[in-house]
Structure 1
Amino acid sequence: MTEHIIEEAPNKPGRKEMSPLLKFALELGPLMVFFFANSRGEDLAAAFPVLGDLGGPLFIATALFMGAMVIALSVSWAVTRTLPIMPLVSGAVVLVFGGLTLWLQDETFIKLKPTIVNALFAAVLLGGLFFGKSFLGYVFDQAFKLDDEGWRKLTFRWGLFFVFLAVVNIVVWKAADAYYGPGQIADDAWVDFKVWGIMPITFVFMMTQIGLIRRHSLEPIGGKKE
């Protein structure tokens, strides 16, 4: 039997699955490393001088973020012998833009990363629908099972949401620079919003999709299917 490197399509029999909790930890973990390293960059540089050679806190955070993404993908491969599509795309962009950030010592590249990633996700999801593919199922199929119409509708909504996130990143980045002036304080404000602002916004969006998920679920949710 041919072994697939990329995770297989949702609802496909025999698809290898990972614990939803582990999957969430692997996707959120690198972001938490990024936040911690940016907020404690000076302490990390003092404890590990080699990190200080990378530059300020944002550059240290970028390097550790890259390492955390590689570890997360490696764990995914070790557990399922496949690579999840969304983290793989995000990881590739992190490595490219993070590498440019460190090489050129220009924070612009790492700040552009969320916009590039979200724009790519939007393009993949909305473009996939054009060709009859609901790629969102690759991300959430282990959390819940939907019929084909449900995956199409949810994929379309998430595609538009990723467009929104791509724009919001630029707005917050430029607003922080305009308000504080380019520098560490503006960097901290951008990182804080990236970690503590995007997650609540995403959570609220996800909550608004519960009705759609219930209507198209192939399995009972909360003990009762609507």
Structure 2
Amino acid sequence: MMKFLFDVFPVIFFFITYKWGERNAETSQQIANQVLSQFTAGNGISLEQAPILLATALAIVASVVQIGYLLISKKKVDAMLWISFFIITVFGSATIYFQNDAFIKWKPTIIYWCYGISFLISDLFFKKNLLKVAMGGQIIMPDDIWRKLNLIWAVYFISMGILNIYVAFNFPQSTWVSFKLYSIGALPAFLILQSFFLAKHIQDPQ
């Protein structure tokens, strides 16, 4: 649980900052103009832009701190964290520079699709089941079940990416920010459902 919260720390920080910026729009605008205006292509940051730009900037900082902590502590940085760090830095920077929230709205989808495509490509082209590599030491199952589970994960991530885009561009910005946080809860729920599927197929070690 603690690892999960650590991994999603930048998302939580993004949500808190955005909601604070919404409630304190003028203060948020002043801070954003003081800190971020030099990094934008425009002449100033508007009242409407300030919450999302400030939240994006602090999410980038949180991601840098997250990676830095792991490196300084000489702990392993998971591939997914590196992917998330790279994407939040690139898409977040573009959001701030162009003062356009479309970039940061695409960020979760790009991450989800990277995960989903990785599951598919590794299995189809390299005959390497990522789930089996990660969990094979703790769980023993037939190879065909591993393949089904791998496909389920791929479909889950691709579907979440599509859902994010739908919400991002069909609902108000504030609704999308809330969805971005609450959708994190979909993963534990998915894992619980997955456990029922696994229970029928896990084999006892000989």
TM over 0.5: yes
Alignment equivalent of 1:91, drawn from 72, 85, 100: 85
Question: Cα distance, 1:219 vs. partner?
Answer: 8.0
Question: Cα distance, 1:147 vs. partner?
Answer: 3.1
Contact 1:134 1:152 in 2 (8 A): yes
Contact 2:52 2:101 in 1 (8 A): yes
Question: Cα distance, 1:203 vs. partner?
Answer: 3.0
Question: Which residue of 1 is the match for residue 164 of structure 2?
Answer: 169
* Secondary structure, counterpart of 2:139 in structure 1: coil
Spell out structure 1 runs of 4+ moving beyond 6 A. Answer: none
Distance (Å, rounded) in 1 between the aligned partners of 2:111 and 2:10: 15
Distance (Å, rounded) in 1 between the aligned partners of 2:179 and 2:65: 24
Question: Cα distance, 1:66 vs. partner?
Answer: 0.8
Contact 1:52 1:60 in 2 (8 A): no
Question: Which residue of 1 is the match for residue 154 of structure 2?
Answer: 159
Question: Cα distance, 1:80 vs. partner?
Answer: 4.8
String of CA shifts for 1:3-53, please: whole Å, max 9, x gaps.
Answer: xxxxxxxxxxxxxxxxxx442122121111010010012649738954444
Question: Which residue of 2 is the match for residue 207 of structure 1?
Answer: 192
Matched, 1:195 2:186: no
Distance (Å, rounded) in 2 between the aligned partners of 1:145 and 1:137: 9
Q: Which moved more, 1:102-111 or 1:73-82?
A: 73-82
TM-score where L is the length of structure 2: 0.78
Question: Cα distance, 1:215 vs. partner?
Answer: 4.3
Q: 1:39 to 1:155 in 2, by over 3 A?
A: same
Structure 2: tracts of 5 or more residues without a match: 37-44
Question: Cα distance, 1:97 vs. partner?
Answer: 0.3
* Secondary structure, counterpart of 1:83 in structure 2: coil
Question: Which residue of 1 is the match for residue 40 of structure 2?
Answer: none
Question: Which residue of 2 is the match for residue 125 of structure 1?
Answer: 119
Distance (Å, rounded) in 1 between the aligned partners of 2:138 and 2:72: 24
String of CA shifts for 1:198-221, please: whole Å, max 9, x gaps.
Answer: 13333332221012333455789x
Question: Which residue of 2 is the match for residue 76 of structure 1?
Answer: 70
Question: Cα distance, 1:79 vs. partner?
Answer: 4.1
Distance (Å, rounded) in 2 between the aligned partners of 1:219 and 1:48: 59
Contact 2:28 2:54 in 1 (8 A): no
Distance (Å, rounded) in 1 between the aligned partners of 2:78 and 2:52: 27
Distance (Å, rounded) in 1 between the aligned partners of 2:102 and 2:181: 18
Contact 1:122 1:158 in 2 (8 A): yes
Among all aligned residue pairs of Structure 1 and Structure 2, give the percentage whose two residues are the same amino acid: 27
RMSD of aligned C-alpha atoms? 2.9
Alignment equivalent of 2:138, drawn from 128, 136, 145: 145
The structure with the largest helix share of the pair is 2
Q: Would you say how many aligned residue pairs link Structure 1 and Structure 2? A: 188
Question: Cα distance, 1:153 vs. partner?
Answer: 3.3
Letter in 2 for 1:35: F
Q: How does 1:28-67 map to 2 (within 5 A)?
A: 28-41=8-21, 43=24, 46=27, 49-53=30-34, 54=36, 55=45, 56-67=50-61
Contact 2:21 2:28 in 1 (8 A): no
Question: Which residue of 2 is the match for residue 25 of structure 1?
Answer: 5
* Secondary structure, counterpart of 1:146 in structure 2: coil
Contact 1:119 1:162 in 2 (8 A): yes
Question: Which residue of 1 is the match for residue 130 of structure 2?
Answer: 135
